[in-house]
């Protein structure tokens, strides 16, 4: 098996599981607030106008979520969801390092950097 250390596999399995469940819980919570406040309004999804800046960038999302806005909380849950695979790759860097597998640690770092670039810089 690629990993001799079963602990790393367990940690990764748990990161994925709790990441998904946690983000689903946050999305449900935010969705309930959003529907309670805006459920009766007509739907705005027919025409593309792009999300407002506050729901596009990490600082804006954190701010909207902190002020208990439903859509801000949903975006926070989705951010956690996007971060879950990134955390998985980050843990696999640790796993490969522990195995002294430098080549694959570098591969995992490349993947991790592409993911962080997309989330933070794109």
Partner 1 sequence: MTILTFTALVSIGAVLAGLLGSLTGLGGGVVLVPLLTLLFKVDIRYAVGASLVSVIATSSGAAAAYVKEGFSNIRVGIFLEIATTFGALLGAFLATRISTQAIAIVFGVMLLISAYLASRPRVPRATDQVPDRLATRLRMNGSFPTEDGIRKYFVRRVPAGFTIMFGAGALSGLLGIGSGALKVLAMDQAMRIPFKVSTTTSNFMIGVTAAASAGVYLSRGYVDPGLAMPVMLGVLAGSFLGARILPKANTQWLRLVFGAVILFLAIQMIYKGATGGI
> d(Cα 12, Cα 84) in Å, to the nearest integer?
10
Q: Which 8-state DSSP code applies to residue 119?
A: I
Minimum CB separation of residue 29 from partner 1 in Å reads: 10
Q: How far apart are CA 50 and CA 89, in angstroms?
A: 30
22 binding partner 1? (CB under 8 A): no
**Smallest distance from partner 1 to CB 77, Å:** 8
Task: Using alpha carbons, list the distances in angstroms from residue 95 to 40, 53, 63, 101.
Answer: 50, 37, 35, 9
- Measured from the CB of residue 17, what is the shortest distance to partner 1 in angstroms? 4
For partner 1, the closer CB: 62 or 101: 101
CA-based nearest residue to 74, from 103, 32, 112: 32
Please give the residues from 32 up to 51 whose contact with partner 1 meets the rule CB under 8 A: 34-35, 38-48, 50-51
Inter-residue contact 23 to 77 (CB < 8 Å)? yes
**Residue whose entry in the numeric block shows the structure tokens 């690629």:** 2
67 in contact with partner 1 (CB under 8 A): no
Tell which one of 59, 67, 100, 122 touches partner 1 (CB under 8 A). 122
Q: Angle at Cα 84 formed by Cα 61 and Cα 25, nearest 5°?
A: 65
Give the footprint of partner 1 on this chain (CB under 8 A): 1-3, 9-10, 12-14, 16-17, 19-20, 23-24, 27-28, 30-31, 34-35, 38-48, 50-52, 55-57, 70-72, 74-75, 78-79, 81-82, 84-86, 88-89, 92, 101, 103-104, 107-108, 110-111, 114-115, 117-120, 122
């Amino acid at each position: 098996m690629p990993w001799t250390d079963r602990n790393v596999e367990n940690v990764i399995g748990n990161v994925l599981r709790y990441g998904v469940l946690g983000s689903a819980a946050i999305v449900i919570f935010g969705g309930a607030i959003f529907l309670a406040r805006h459920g009766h309004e007509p739907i705005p999804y027919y025409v593309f106008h792009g999300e407002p800046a506050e729901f596009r960038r990490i600082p804006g999302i954190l701010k909207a979520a902190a002020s208990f806005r439903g859509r801000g909380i949903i975006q926070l849950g989705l951010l956690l969801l996007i971060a879950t695979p990134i955390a998985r790759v980050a843990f696999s860097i640790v796993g490969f390092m522990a195995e002294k597998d430098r080549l694959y640690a570098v591969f995992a770092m490349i993947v991790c950097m592409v993911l962080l670039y997309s989330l933070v810089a794109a």
